[in-house]
Chains A and B, each alone.
Chain A
């Protein structure tokens, strides 16, 4: 299982990939809002979303685990 982590501190703005869906490497697993910018969080590798650990609107620190890919 590969964790998907927040590249920077901010708010979870959108979670475009649902649990169980397949993602290609580089697909957005989450979009953060930080510094008034939308910051896509790309999948580090291709796979299936095993778990999503956060909700839209939640504050996350840089490095926080947002989801797992298997």
Chain B
């Protein structure tokens, strides 16, 4: 056989992946073969592969269980790492890790996004000395991820497992898409947990997609199928620039399809819940809202949208869930989303209707103070255009976490329904006049409390706050969209450095 024929035969052999029984196993699990996934994801004929011949002298290790290279998605160039679960269950061997490290280095050099398509049993223990401890071994993958974070988008899709050390790969990505039923991540498998700590638990409960997307917060998108996961990946990238210096891609503007008039969506009474999704739908371009972490801490809504065709990131309280109160998980979700938007030049819109951070012994033990501080930290640091809209109420540190006036928003706008205060009238009157109320005869208390509440409401009247220049404008809900489009356009050239230092000491 000549060398050219040899090459052709090798490429054909390697492109077929592992033995037939493992292809059959993929089919039973509802999974695609790695090269089918790439064909669905990438523009036809755009893929160039590196290291296809890695370990070609070993017939059992086609490409050493990972496909790496560069391709295009809707015309945009991206780096790809994709596990091949038909070869040693997609585990990481001596050359797998070197291939992953190299494609990361390419993404950094070329300033383009990287996608991690993971379906892997983790490190190959039999090859550990060649892949685990050294300078360019598995640890370097995570080191690189940290270095890349905020420079180029990193999207991780779990089509299958990503156990033990490999679980840090999703954790260090910008976002994680998980396929329901097949994706999993845990530091120790159920088998290991039973052996080492005596716990009996199944895969799904321990580290399934649904658990991670709704409880742990490791997952950002729960996909019902591999096809949906691929679509989510494409859609996510459509809101992202190629790198931290680029601008997110614009699209033709569209009118909102949501409810009109928007003013009818917000009830005047501060204590009555309403659905913030309806407010968002009525405000942004039709079909442009793309939610992140939908299943996790739903009392805070985070997601991308378009306003007059331009990408924005929305952070909105959801009064229909837990009263829109901020909890440990919602503060965590908010902080991370704000960091994501700030990293990639995505202007931030805050829609505040927040009674404050949750109080009580339960949340204090969970560290509500430091988690809230983390969100306040992220809001402070964000130098992308940011506008805070007080939709209804912003009480206490809720005002701070939602980019209130002290946090350098480019504008703090109030709707006529807005109320800004340390706390609501009921709690405030009780706090200030507690002793006085106790001294009064019981039948005189209600009228006293009512009078004091009215006094308090007048003191925090939104026109008074506008008169004191606390807010920059009071805008009616039906004019809000046009106002925001003009204000974001005006702030487009914003170039601000927050401050110089090595790094802040983050409250986490």
Contact = CB atoms under 8 A, between A and B. Distances in A.
Interface of A: 7-9, 34-40, 61-62
A34 B323 contact: yes
Determine the main DSSP class of B at the interface with A.
loop
Nearest to B327: A8
A39 B273 contact: yes
Contacts, number: 42
Contact of B360 (A7, A9, A37, A40): A9
B321 interface: yes
A13 B272 CA distance: 13
Interface of B: 271-273, 319-325, 327, 355-356, 358-360, 362, 424, 426-427
B362 A61 contact: yes
28 contacts: A7-B322, A8-B323, A8-B325, A8-B327, A9-B358, A9-B360, A9-B362, A34-B323, A34-B325, A35-B323, A35-B355, A35-B356, A35-B358, A36-B355, A36-B426, A36-B427, A37-B271, A37-B273, A37-B319, A37-B323, A37-B324, A37-B325, A38-B271, A38-B272, A38-B323, A39-B273, A40-B320, A61-B362
Contacts of B327: 8
Contacts of B362: 9, 61-62
A36 B272 CA distance: 10
A8 B273 contact: no
Given A9-B360, A34-B322, 7 more contacts: A8-B325, A8-B358, A34-B323, A36-B427, A37-B324, A39-B322, A40-B273
Contacts of B325: 8, 34-35, 37
A40 B324 CA distance: 12
Contacts of B321: 7
B323 A39 contact: yes
A37 B358 contact: no
A11 to B, nearest CB: 12
B286 to A, nearest CB: 25
Nearest to A61: B362
A9 B424 CA distance: 18
Given A8-B358, A9-B360, A36 B271 contact: yes
A40 B427 CA distance: 20
A62 B368 CA distance: 15
Given A7-B321, A8-B325, A61-B362, A38 B424 contact: no
B281 to A, nearest CB: 18
Interface-centre pick from A35, A36, A61 (highest chain B CB count, 10 A): A35
Contacts of A38: 271-273, 323
Nearest to A32: B323
A35 B273 CA distance: 13
Contacts of A61: 362
Contacts of B359: 35
Contacts of A34: 322-323, 325
The 6 closest A-B pairs by CB, nearest first: A37-B323, A35-B355, A8-B322, A39-B323, A35-B325, A36-B424
Nearest to B398: A35
A37 B393 CA distance: 11
B474 to A, nearest CB: 24
B367 to A, nearest CB: 15
B353 to A, nearest CB: 10
A57 B426 CA distance: 17
A1 B75 CA distance: 52
B330 to A, nearest CB: 11
Nearest to A7: B322
Contacts of A36: 271, 355, 424, 426-427
A39 to B, nearest CB: 5
Nearest to B272: A38
Nearest to A31: B273
A46 B426 CA distance: 36
Contacts of B271: 36-38
Contacts of B322: 7-8, 34, 39
Nearest to B423: A36
Nearest to B322: A8
Contacts of A37: 271, 273, 319, 323-325, 355
A50 to B, nearest CB: 25
Interface-centre pick from A8, A38, A40 (highest chain B CB count, 10 A): A8
A10 B323 CA distance: 11
Nearest to A38: B271
Nearest to A35: B355
Contacts of A39: 273, 322-323
A36 B356 CA distance: 10
A65 B359 CA distance: 21
